[in-house]
Homo-oligomer: A and B are copies of this chain.
Amino acid sequence: MSDNSFGRLFRVTTFGESHGPAIGCVIDGCPPGLEINANEIRSELRRRATGKSRHTSQRKEKDDVQLLSGVFEGRTTGTPIAMLIENTDARPRDYTDIATKFRPGHADYTYWKKYGIRDYRGGGRSSARETTMRVAAGAVARKFLKQKLGIEIQGWLAQLGPIRTDREYDAQMIDENPFFSPDASVVPALEKHMDMLRKSGDSCGARISAVARNVPAGLGEPVYGKLDADLAAAMMGINAAKGVEIGAGFDCVDQLGTEHRDEITAEGFLGNHAGGVLGGISSGQDVRVSVAFKPASSLRIPCRSIDVQGQPVEVITKGRHDPCVGIRATPIVEAMLALVLMDHVLRQRAQNGQEWNINE
């Protein structure tokens, strides 16, 4: 039961391998009448593109997305929206060396154990290339959420290796540096750290945070489709993710109840340790999520591994890789946040539709 669809009612199915002919997605369930065009999607894709600075992979994909269906005269029709991107800068030959070896920390070993066969070229289906289509589909969701409900989504780099990057938060700044850091003052330190890693051939982890503002109260389907549970799945399902927090996250372990509970006044909540979710349902406060990304495992520094026969081998990863995969994860976290919210808007409308005015 391969499972390549995300969402229940705003349902995104992705396909494609890193170095195959193309990647693509199908969005099923998009409300009709939404104005959308390929350029809007391309503009979101550029935010996660490789090759924009020396700090990310040098693969240069045009990501020239085509809209194949579901849009007529500039508006969605309610039928499936298919999007396709041809892979133009694939270099499958970079990978012949690892055709029979398993790269530690990669999905090579587990795909092979699961399916008994794997497309080893660039990680095949397990490559972060797949996340391109999450951003593409997320762009449609964001447009709807923004236009119909006024929801705004923003992600940022909260930490890179040992460097905490959001002590100062300046939203304007985020898209003006290659790290999605909201704190201009740490950018030189980040550049230095990344240059150091590139030289040593090593990599580092990162923490990405995101917020959704103007989310109406009432989103989330207890008790097994809670908003926070769906966010956790969405974030943990991004390549390299190892941890997810909502609101206070793991800090709540050390908190007292009197400290954590967000008191309410006629003017609103007095805090947001909850991260905008109570009992699995949005409270109308900002929805806040934080995700840990592990350091990339594709390193030039050799390591011990085995081959498909179980024999010991040494592995060195060539190809073009990100020393910190977390950096480009920012737009992906935003996209997944948008997809979860979009799905829950439709789910909420299904059960509580008539009585519930989404714009109030």
Contact = CB atoms under 8 A, between A and B. Distances in A.
B82 A264 contact: no
Given A32-B352, A236-B228, A297-B260, A304 B254 contact: no
Interface in A2-36: 2-6, 8-9, 11, 13-17, 20-24, 26, 28-33
A244 B247 contact: no
Contacts of A312: 265-266
A1 B29 contact: yes
A15 B261 contact: no
B66 A32 contact: no
A266 to B, nearest CB: 5
Given A113-B218, A306-B265, A107 B278 contact: yes
Given A33-B355, A205-B260, A250 B1 contact: no
Nearest to A125: B79
Interface residues of A, number: 156
B294 A69 contact: no
Given A20-B68, A265-B304, A258 B4 contact: no
Interface string A173-208: 000000000000000000000000000001111110
Contact of A16 (B2, B8, B69, B236): B69
Given A217-B114, A236-B229, A292-B252, A68 B33 contact: no
Contacts of A126: 222-223, 279-280
A316 to B, nearest CB: 12
A311 interface: yes
A141 interface: no
A262 interface: yes
A281 to B, nearest CB: 4
B20 A110 contact: no
A221 interface: yes
Given A202-B256, A250-B250, A4 B26 contact: yes
A57 B252 CA distance: 21
Given A32-B115, A233-B230, A247-B242, A254 B3 contact: no
Contacts of A26: 4, 13, 15, 26
A179 to B, nearest CB: 14
A306 to B, nearest CB: 5
